[in-house]
């Protein structure tokens, strides 16, 4: 990294020389020597490039205000190391073409899940996050074996922490159909903007919509349209499973060791239909991005306990829309 590149990078980050020196753990005199041509150490370049990568993705990278105010160099160094680690993870996942399988991130419960796997995380004082514990319900967790999956989880969590005020941009006519009027709508979160876009996606004067965070695109028009279609497909797939359950609720596996009375059969049928009704109730909140595959999977487990097994093709259709 050249002195000019260092200076321009820190300007992009909005850092004054004194603050830059503090966050890099050096004196102001040392920082000025770098600008005057002295070789810039590798760890410094690594930290600055990590900050830039997080900054460009609208992820917190500065230490919390208390650490800065108290000049707590131990805490500042930990933040610096954390920024480098997270930046490296993001770079590796993006180099692989993104997460192989998206994790479901629950900001309220501070956890990310993928089937039987779960990773907890902590919200840091600077607005970022730190990974917590990794567990599996299907066996012993192995961090080395599952390293790429854990990195995918960190990437998905980071994407959630990019959420914040966003702008939905749309036009009154399709691109290429003449001069289009552009409309900008601000929303407190990405999810709110997606819901608005999905509701209006097929309206006559709503075209080529995309979502911006600051001056950076968050979802381009193709990604946004795919997400809206995915939600529609997921809702339809859930309704298809529910319809199958309600139609075939009298066909279930019976314990061959005993005879079933008409009352027992009716109660079992009623319980199966109750689960089918719950699956159907998931369809509408799915359109709002408020349903996870784990919720469906839990209800599917309830059906299996009752001896009822929906067609594999219907279940697979639900899984595909959530993946």
Question: Are 89 and 81 in contact, with CB atoms under 8 Å apart?
Answer: no
Band (pLDDT 50/70/90 cuts) for residue 164 is low
pLDDT of residue 307 exceeding 70: yes
Q: Where are the domains of the chain?
A: 3-95, 104-161, 166-219, 228-322
- What are the residues facing 136 on neighbouring strands? 117
pLDDT of residue 177 exceeding 80: no
- 118-152, pLDDT tens digit by residue? 999 988 877 788 899 999 988 888 888 899 999 99
Band (pLDDT 50/70/90 cuts) for residue 234 is very high
Band (pLDDT 50/70/90 cuts) for residue 259 is confident
Helix (H) or strand (E) holding 169: strand 166-171
Question: Are 262 and 254 in contact, with CB atoms under 8 Å apart?
Answer: no
Percentage helix, strand, coil, to 5, in the chain? Answer: 55, 15, 35
- 34-61, pLDDT tens digit by residue? 999 899 999 999 999 999 988 887 788 8
* Helices 262-281, 221-247: inter-axial angle, 10-degree rounding: 170
**Residue 235 zone, left/alpha/beta (φ > 0; ψ -120 to 50; rest):** alpha
pLDDT score at 323: 63
Measured CA to CA, the distance from residue 196 to residue 210 in angstroms comes to 11
Measured CA to CA, the distance from residue 167 to residue 138 in angstroms comes to 41
14: Cβ–Cβ under 8 A, 6 or more apart, which residues? none
Helix (H) or strand (E) holding 128: none
In degrees and rounded to multiples of 5, residue 244 shows phi and psi of: -65, -45
Helix (H) or strand (E) holding 18: helix 17-24
Measured CA to CA, the distance from residue 155 to residue 152 in angstroms comes to 5
- DSSP character string of 232-271: HHHHHHHHHHHHHHHHSTT-----TTSPPPHHHHHHHHHH
pLDDT score at 48: 93
Distance of CA 79 to the CA centre of its chain: 22
Specify the range with the lowest mean pLDDT, choosing from 57-66, 142-151, 203-212. Answer: 57-66
Measured CA to CA, the distance from residue 185 to residue 89 in angstroms comes to 33
């Amino acid at each position: 990294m050249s002195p000019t590149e260092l200076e321009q990078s820190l300007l992009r980050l909005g850092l004054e020389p004194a603050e830059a020196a503090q966050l890099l753990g050096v004196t102001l005199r040392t920082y000025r020597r770098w600008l005057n041509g002295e070789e810039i150490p590798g760890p410094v370049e690594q930290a600055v490039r990590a900050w830039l990568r997080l900054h460009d993705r609208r992820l917190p990278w500065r230490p919390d205000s208390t650490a800065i105010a108290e000049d707590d160099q131990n805490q500042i160094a930990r933040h610096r190391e954390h920024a480098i680690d997270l930046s490296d993870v993001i770079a590796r996942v993006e180099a692989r073409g993104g997460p192989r399988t998206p994790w479901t991130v629950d900001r309220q419960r501070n956890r990310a899940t993928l089937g039987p796997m779960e990773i907890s995380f902590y919200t840091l004082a600077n607005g970022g996050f730190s990974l917590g514990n990794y567990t599996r319900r299907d066996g012993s967790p192995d961090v080395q074996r599952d390293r790429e999956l854990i990195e995918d989880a960190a990437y998905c969590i980071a994407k959630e922490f990019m959420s914040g005020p966003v702008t939905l941009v749309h036009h009154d006519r399709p691109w290429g159909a003449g001069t289009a009027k552009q409309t900008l709508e601000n929303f407190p979160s990405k999810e709110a903007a997606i819901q608005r876009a999905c509701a209006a996606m097929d309206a006559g004067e709503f075209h080529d919509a995309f979502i911006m965070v600051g001056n950076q695109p968050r979802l381009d028009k193709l990604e946004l349209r795919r997400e809206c279609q995915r939600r529609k497909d997921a809702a339809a797939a859930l309704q298809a499973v529910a319809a199958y359950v309600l139609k075939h609720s009298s066909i279930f596996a019976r314990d061959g060791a005993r005879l079933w009375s008409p009352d027992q059969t009716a109660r079992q049928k009623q319980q199966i239909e109750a689960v089918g009704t719950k699956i159907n109730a998931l369809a509408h909140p799915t359109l709002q991005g408020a349903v996870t595959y784990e919720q469906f999977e839990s209800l599917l487990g309830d059906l299996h306990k009752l001896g009822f097994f929906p067609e594999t093709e219907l279940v697979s259709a639900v899984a595909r829309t959530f993946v």
